């Protein structure tokens, strides 16, 4: 098994049977071997630096009904909110003062935020903070919309593919959502010139080891600049309320494999990882991650953007989250930096 890790380290790819053997045959000892390599690769490209992104959850309205998601449209118990442009600009200013140089605008698929409104928001943020990067994470839109956002100054886009297997995709989403359309959006975004982030949940209902291998092969094919992965965590008001959550151990192993597969990729240690284990985000960095995403959303809306149960940091002010993260990273020998944190291939 260690030879397979060496092979992945050297060649940056493996055959699907080899990935499958690694995932199925993983042991704590093998994981430690993998993480030594993944940390080494990470160190080569990014040193001890950890990039920070300020996450602004600006709307929890969504027209979609993904079976796993706490803010899906059928969840009538959610108190819905939208931040105004002024609210968003205040979040950015607070973030800027705290050293953030990337803002991630994330939300449900909310048609209230027309292209025109979003272009205005992007332009206003850029006017005030021309040295900052803007990442959008607002789901599937048309080519024209993506182009308008890009031309307005948004340079990154996060759109997890969720699973690279079409059958599995159908088990996680209602029939109007398809893997084909998700993938088309990702290739479209790339072609427009966005730095693109794909990704998936680990341990989502019905997921098999073969599916995880397909996820890795899709990452190799798409060559995204970022890969966001985190454990699936059930939300009590969704169809998947009774499903088991994804494991910390498997999520960390997948992070390690992704670092070897795409050495220069931006790899966040996610909030979901911190939710299933108090030290999850530290462990994600030690498995090869190099990005953290503290929350910049106003505290008044934090507990309304509940994608899954027991989400952490819902009561904390932006400054608390930022300094908490700094301490956590320092405790394992890393440092958060004031930087846009572009992918090394673009610097």
Site stretch for ligand SAM (CB under 6 A), options 9-17, 134-142, 261-269, 281-289: 134-142
The reply, when asked if residue 137 is annotated as ligand binding, is yes
Q: Taking CB within 5 to 8 Å according to partner kind, which of ligand FES, ligand SAM, none is near residue 233?
A: ligand SAM
Which residue from 250, 244, 249, 230 is spatially nearest to 307, judged by alpha carbons? 230
Q: Taking CB within 5 to 8 Å according to partner kind, which of ligand SAM, ligand FES, none is near residue 72?
A: ligand FES
Please report whether residue 66 would count as binding ligand FES according to CB under 6 A.
Answer: yes
Q: How many residues sit in the footprint of ligand FES (CB under 6 A)?
A: 8
Please report whether residue 203 would count as binding ligand FES according to CB under 6 A.
Answer: no
Residue 72 or 156 with smaller CB distance to ligand FES: 72
Which residue from 211, 216, 179 is spatially nearest to 199, judged by alpha carbons? 216
Phi-psi region of 201 (alpha: psi -120 to 50; beta: other; left: phi over 0): beta
- Exactly one of 8, 31, 69, 287 binds ligand SAM (CB under 6 A); that residue is 69
Give the nearest distance from C-beta 62 to ligand SAM in angstroms.
6
- Exactly one of 14, 50, 52, 62 binds ligand FES (CB under 6 A); that residue is 62
- The secondary structure element, H or E, covering residue 285 is helix 280-286
CA angle (111, 116, 119) in 5-degree steps: 110
Which residue from 195, 285, 219 is spatially nearest to 12, judged by alpha carbons? 219
Please report whether residue 159 would count as binding ligand SAM according to CB under 6 A.
Answer: yes
CB of 233 within 8 A of CB of 264?
no
Backbone φ, ψ for residue 245 (5° rounding): -80, 160
Q: Which of helix, strand or coil describes residue 107?
A: strand
Residue 78 or 336 with smaller CB distance to ligand FES: 78
- Exactly one of 230, 284, 288, 289 binds ligand SAM (CB under 6 A); that residue is 230
Residue 134 or 172 with smaller CB distance to ligand FES: 172
Please report whether residue 272 would count as binding ligand SAM according to CB under 6 A.
Answer: yes
- Exactly one of 108, 280, 288, 289 binds ligand FES (CB under 6 A); that residue is 108
Binding mask 284-313 for ligand SAM (x = CB under 6 A): -----------------------xx-----
Give the strand pairing for 226-231 and 195-202: parallel
Please report whether residue 232 would count as binding ligand SAM according to CB under 6 A.
Answer: yes
- Exactly one of 37, 53, 160, 322 binds ligand SAM (CB under 6 A); that residue is 160
Give the nearest distance from C-beta 179 to ligand SAM in angstroms.
13
Residue 14 or 212 with smaller CB distance to ligand SAM: 212
Longest dimension (CA), the chain: 55
Q: Chain centroid to CA 287: how far?
A: 16
Which residue from 109, 108, 118, 107 is spatially nearest to 144, judged by alpha carbons? 118
Under 8 Å CB-to-CB from 266, ≥6 apart: which residues? 51, 197, 225, 226, 227, 290, 291, 341, 343
- CA pair distance 203, 170, nearest whole angstrom: 16
Please report whether residue 71 would count as binding ligand FES according to CB under 6 A.
Answer: yes
The reply, when asked if residue 182 is annotated as ligand binding, is yes
- CA pair distance 289, 42, nearest whole angstrom: 8
Report the Cα–Cα distance between both ends of the chain, in Å, rounded.
35
Q: At what angle do helices 143-152 and 115-128 cross, to 10 degrees?
A: 20
From the annotation, which residues make up the binding site for S-adenosyl-L-methionine?
162, 182
**Residues binding ligand FES (CB under 6 A):** 62, 64, 66, 69, 71-72, 108-109
**Residues binding ligand SAM (CB under 6 A):** 68-69, 106, 108-109, 137-139, 159-160, 162, 201, 230, 232-233, 235, 272, 307-308
């Amino acid at each position: 098994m260690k030879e397979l890790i060496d092979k992945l380290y050297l060649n940056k790819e493996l055959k699907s049977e080899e990935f499958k053997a690694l995932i199925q045959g993983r042991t704590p000892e093998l994981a430690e071997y993998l993480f030594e390599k993944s940390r080494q690769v990470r160190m080569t490209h990014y040193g001890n630096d950890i990039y920070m992104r300020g996450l602004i959850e600006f709307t929890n309205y969504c027209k979609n009904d993904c079976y796993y998601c706490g803010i899906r449209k059928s969840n009538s118990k959610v108190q819905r909110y939208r931040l105004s442009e002024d609210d968003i600009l205040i979040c950015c200013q607070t973030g800027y003062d705290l050293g953030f140089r990337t803002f991630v605008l994330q939300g449900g698929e909310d048609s209230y935020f027309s292209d025109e409104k979003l272009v205005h928001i992007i332009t206003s943020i850029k006017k005030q903070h021309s040295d900052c990067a803007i990442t959008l994470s607002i789901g599937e839109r048309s080519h024209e919309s993506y182009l308008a956002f890009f031309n307005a100054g948004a340079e990154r886009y996060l759109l997890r593919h969720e699973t690279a297997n079409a059958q599995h995709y159908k088990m996680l989403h209602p029939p109007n959502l398809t893997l084909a359309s998700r993938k088309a959006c990702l290739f479209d975004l790339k072609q427009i010139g966005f730095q693109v982030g794909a990704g998936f949940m680990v341990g989502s209902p019905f997921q098999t080891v073969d599916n995880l291998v397909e996820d890795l092969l899709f990452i190799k094919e798409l060559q995204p600049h970022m890969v966001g992965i985190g454990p699936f965590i059930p939300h009590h008001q969704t169809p998947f309320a009774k499903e088991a959550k994804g494991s910390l151990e498997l999520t960390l192993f997948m992070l390690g494999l992704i670092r070897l597969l795409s050495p220069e990729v931006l790899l966040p240690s996610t909030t979901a990882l911190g939710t299933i284990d108090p030290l999850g985000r530290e462990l994600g960095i030690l498995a090869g991650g190099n990005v953290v995403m503290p929350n910049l959303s106003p505290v008044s809306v934090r507990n309304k953007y509940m994608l899954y149960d027991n989400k952490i940091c819902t009561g904390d002010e932006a400054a608390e989250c930022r300094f908490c993260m700094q301490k956590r990273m320092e405790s394992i020998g890393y440092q958060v930096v004031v930087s846009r944190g572009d992918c090394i291939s673009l610097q």
